[in-house]
Structure formats: C-alpha cells, structure tokens
Amino acid sequence: MLTISRELHDQIVAHARADHPDEACGVVAGPEGADRPERFIPMLNAARSPTFYEFDSMDLLRLYREMDDRDEVPVVIYHSHTATEAYPSRTDITYASEPEAHYVLVSTRESATTEFRSYRIVDGVVTEEPVEVVQSYLFGHTRTETVYEQ
C-alpha cells in the first residue's frame, strides 16, 4: 500500500495537469528504509511528449547523488498519461528499475476527474496497490475523511 500525504498527492496531480498535454514526471524521495514519501521533486520531461516521458540523464544523475547525500531513496516515481488510463504501458514496465518504489500514474485525459493509481513493478510484473491519502503522517493511517483540528 502507498500511504501519501494530501499535500504530496495534490502536488503530483497539479504537476501532471500543468504539463498537459505533455506527460509530466518526477520523484518523491523519502528516508532510506522508511517507505514514506516526503520530498516532492518535479522533473522535466526531456522527451517533451504527450505519449512518452524521459528523465534527462544528467538531471537524474544529480538527483541520485543528492538523494544519496541525504540518505534518501526514490519512494515514489510518478508520471502522467495524457490520453489513456493510469496504467503502466509496456514502455513503462520495461523502464521500471526500482523494485522498492511505488510507481504512480495520473491520468489527465479528463479534466473533471483525477485518476491517481499506484503500482509495484518488479521484473516486468505489475501489481496494483491501494493508495491511502492522509492529512498527515503524524497520525499514521488516518484517512483524509478525518481531519484533526489544532
């Protein structure tokens, strides 16, 4: 299961909508070993394409060095699909190289609805997983329907 904060969820969706009609892409890094997405890192789609995304190799190298320096890992790797459902394409599956990451796809094909789905992709096998959007990690797995007042 992917547990993600409302803020990060909304940032991913906003990035996907802002880059439409091109596919958006990025990473959400988190502490090594925690499986907790924390740091939103929107990336530039070097392909600038409505049907394909590609991280710039130098940007990706810099990102991995930075994450390494901060003891972080890519907890979420996300991109958008602009005309199809939020399901990994054959190309997405082929390029999936982080077996511990949650691969999030956002479909921007319809402006009135948001399709936000998460998958594990290991050795070419795609497994969809539940997504739980929480107000805060402070309260663990508290669903967004429950809002704590301060």
Residue pLDDT, tens place only, 27-86 = 999 999 999 999 999 999 999 999 999 999 999 999 999 999 999 999 999 999 999 999
Report the predicted TM-score, pTM, of the whole model to 2 decimal places: 0.90
Q: How far is CA 22 from CA 82, 84, 116, in A?
A: 7, 13, 17
Assess whether pLDDT exceeds 90 at residue 149: no
Pick the CATH number of 2-139 from 3.40.1160.10, 3.30.930.10, 3.40.140.10, 3.10.20.30: 3.40.140.10
Question: Average pLDDT, stretch 121-142?
Answer: 86
- What the block records as the tokens of 62 is 């810099």
Q: Would you say the C-alpha torsion 94, 14, 117, 120 has a positive or negative sign?
A: positive
What pLDDT is recorded for position 144? 42
Residue 40 CB partners (closer than 8 Å, separation 6+): 8, 11, 12, 26, 28
Tell me if residue 16 falls in helix, strand or coil.
helix
Please check the confidence at residue 147 and state whether its pLDDT lies above 80: no
Q: Give every CB contact of residue 98 below 8 A, 6+ residues apart in sequence.
A: 74, 77
